[in-house]
Structure 1
């Protein structure tokens, strides 16, 4: 029986699935099974996968049911003591599994090991690094404040821990990852591998670009999580909401520029001010407002040209850096 089960949900991933699978098969750690869940693909995904010869590769096909359901279907087939997921367009560095497994074996009380993430574009070119948050140990409050794991392609998880907290909630895309990490953090410590081992591909049509849906689902997750959280951390709720709205502003204004999303960003920014009034005094707000103005007032192609030309004045990455993951003492 393999020590690790790796699960790849894929829907119409013919352009990237081979590279993703190869990044798993080329891991320095070899004792794993690779479970590909074909989620009703209508392109040549199955043909691409069938041409990859490796005894560790197992393929299961189902009617289309979206990513969370596909991950749960993968869990039903998994036999490993540890489980990891990778989306069909993301990549792993070769030592990802080895380093995370070592971290969990050296910290037997931990249920989850996570690494740092780099963002790449659709062609595989580096865009920027992730948040690179270093945190180990009890992680419940910090995970409530912000999803510092950053993607579903990141963690290695003890299978027993998932059995205890339950499967992915299929009603919560595109934020079902955060919900799962919150539930895991409520019971298990986390351990970090401080190295960028996950390459997250930013795609214009990914589910995470539907910012209005992400807002609605995020609010559901926050309400449910704080309904179950102890009284000692209830004071963090407004910080969680402030953090989430900062993140939503950033997501709404990511490239390519879309006028409707920029208009939505105005509402998100107002909510961020409500929950974090200090944000009004930050210089980054002027960059955010300028970026919104360019996207709203100019045609898409011209807006992109201006954003590139005046990048120094429209780069809003600092907004993500302002997301708080420190523990704020309760007010007396």
Structure 2
């Protein structure tokens, strides 16, 4: 029996709505020499039943008690036999050439990590927006200090020997485990880019109400760790920009929360911190949009606010915060 060249790891918990499509996006890859390791974290819906209906000898399912995504990815790594390892969240998708392109890139380069570009889709698979379509290769540590341009955990392919050196994902972090991992990897190896949108990152409505305070705490911890490494010794001047970028992202995240569920005081604090770390924001339209949107969510009933935002979609879209993140 041939050794699998690539191990694909999918952690899943109650993923009945998307897991079939996600698995199909792996099985439809033009590169076929892979194993698909599914880590089921005690799903209580029809996830396992749906998986069992998909017949392919490359699929291996392991069930464990519920745990965070870092724990489940590490469980998958422990089962992996491939020379290259890649991860896919249970609601994201790949284009059919994702594995082939990243594998070829690593085969023709000494880099330890390959990444592609990402597009965001909604719960129905409809295109929403591009993410950071950059083409940074080689030593990217200073770039990652400012911005997680990888964008999500469904992206990279990593040489197995390199991944083993960094001891997996940090299971203590409640958020930002991906960013922490990319920084650890970039401290010891080069990255190479496949300049094509090959990852479809699904944004679910429920994800908009995620724990922004947890995001803040974990990301600040990751920033502190990153700037404490030897690789950041000559880049300390970037730290204020890194913190500023974090609060621009947090502003976008907290203001994407549905009306009625917003954390108004937290949103106001994030806005003030973002302005404090980048006073140039005071002259950008996004600040006025953000303030108006927050006021509308505070003073209007949720259904009225929803109607207003649907009639004025440019007001409700504050994703332009991400466009003001500093990358140099």
Q: Distance in 2 between matches of 1:2 and 1:12?
A: 28
Quote the residue 1:224 is aligned against: 225
Decide which moves more: 225-234 or 97-106.
225-234
Separation in 1 of the partners of 2:105 and 2:265? 44
In 2, distance between residues paired with 1:260 and 1:156?
Answer: 36
Q: Secondary structure at the match of 1:184?
A: helix
Which residue, 85, 88, 91 being the options, matches 1:86? 88
C-alpha RMSD of the superposition? 1.5
- For 1:142-198, what per-residue CA distance to the aligned partner results, in whole angstroms no more than 9, with x for missing partners? 101110000000111111111111210111122100000011111111111111111
Q: Which shifted more, 82-91 or 260-269?
A: 260-269
CA contact (8 A) 1:263 1:292 kept: no
Q: 1:32 corresponds to which residue?
A: 34
Residues of 1 paired with 2:135 and 2:91: CA distance?
A: 25
1:298 alignment counterpart: 300
Secondary structure, aligned partner of 2:218 = helix
Q: 2:15 aligns with which of 9, 13, 33?
A: 13
Unmatched 5+ stretches in structure 1: 327-332
- Residue 203 (structure 1) aligns with: 204
Match in the other structure for 1:67:
69
SS at match of 2:117: strand
Residue 313 (structure 2) aligns with: 311
Q: Report the counterpart of residue 115 of structure 1 in structure 2.
A: 116
Once residues 259 and 209 of structure 2 are traced to their aligned partners in structure 1, the CA distance between those partners, rounded to angstroms, is: 15
Counterpart of 1:246? 248
Instruction: Give the superposition deviation at 1:258.
Output: 4.4
Offset, 1:122? 1.3
Query: Which residue in the other structure is 2:275 paired with?
Result: 273
Supply the distance in 1 between the matched residues of 2:66 and 2:113 (Cα, whole angstroms). 29
Q: Residue 149 of structure 1 corresponds to which residue in structure 2?
A: 150
Q: 1 CA distance for matches of 2:307 and 2:266?
A: 21
1:214 aligns with 2:215: yes
Q: Secondary structure at the match of 2:10?
A: strand
Tell me whether 138-147 or 250-259 shows the greater mean CA deviation.
Answer: 250-259
Q: Number of matched residues?
A: 325
Deviations 1:214-265 (A, max 9, x none): 0011111111221224320111111100000000000111153344334322
Deviations 1:65-99 (A, max 9, x none): 12110000000000111111000111111011111
Aligned counterpart, 2:59: 57
Contact 2:85/2:158, CA 8 A, preserved across alignment = yes
* Shift of residue 208, structure 1, vs aligned partner: 7.8
Residue number among 274, 289, 296 corresponding to 1:287 in the alignment: 289
| Equivalent in the alignment of 1:134 | 135
Query: Corresponding residue for 2:325?
Result: 323
Q: 1:223 to 1:164 in 2, by over 3 A?
A: same
Do the aligned residues in 2 keep the contact of 1:294 with 1:307 (CA within 8 Å)? no
User: What is the CA deviation profile of residues 104-143 of structure 1, one whole-angstrom value per residue up to 9, with x for unaligned ones?
Assistant: 11212x1111111111111222212212122112100110
Identify the range of structure 1 (170-179 vs 248-257) with the bigger mean alpha-carbon deviation: 248-257
Query: 1:169 is paired with a residue of what secondary structure?
Result: coil
Deviates more, 1:256-265 or 1:130-139: 256-265
Gapped runs of 5+ residues in structure 2? Answer: none
> 1:183 & 1:307 partners in 2: Cα distance?
40
In structure 1, what is the equivalent of residue 43 of structure 2?
Answer: 41
> d(CA) in 1 for partners of 2:224 and 2:59?
39
> What TM-score, normalized to structure 1?
0.94
Q: Aligned-pair distance for 1:32?
A: 0.4
2:11·2:72 contact (CA, 8 Å) conserved in 1? Answer: yes
Q: Which moved more, 1:91-100 or 1:228-237?
A: 228-237
Bigger shift: residues 285-294 or 81-90 = 285-294
Please give the TM-score of this superposition, normalised by the length of structure 2: 0.95
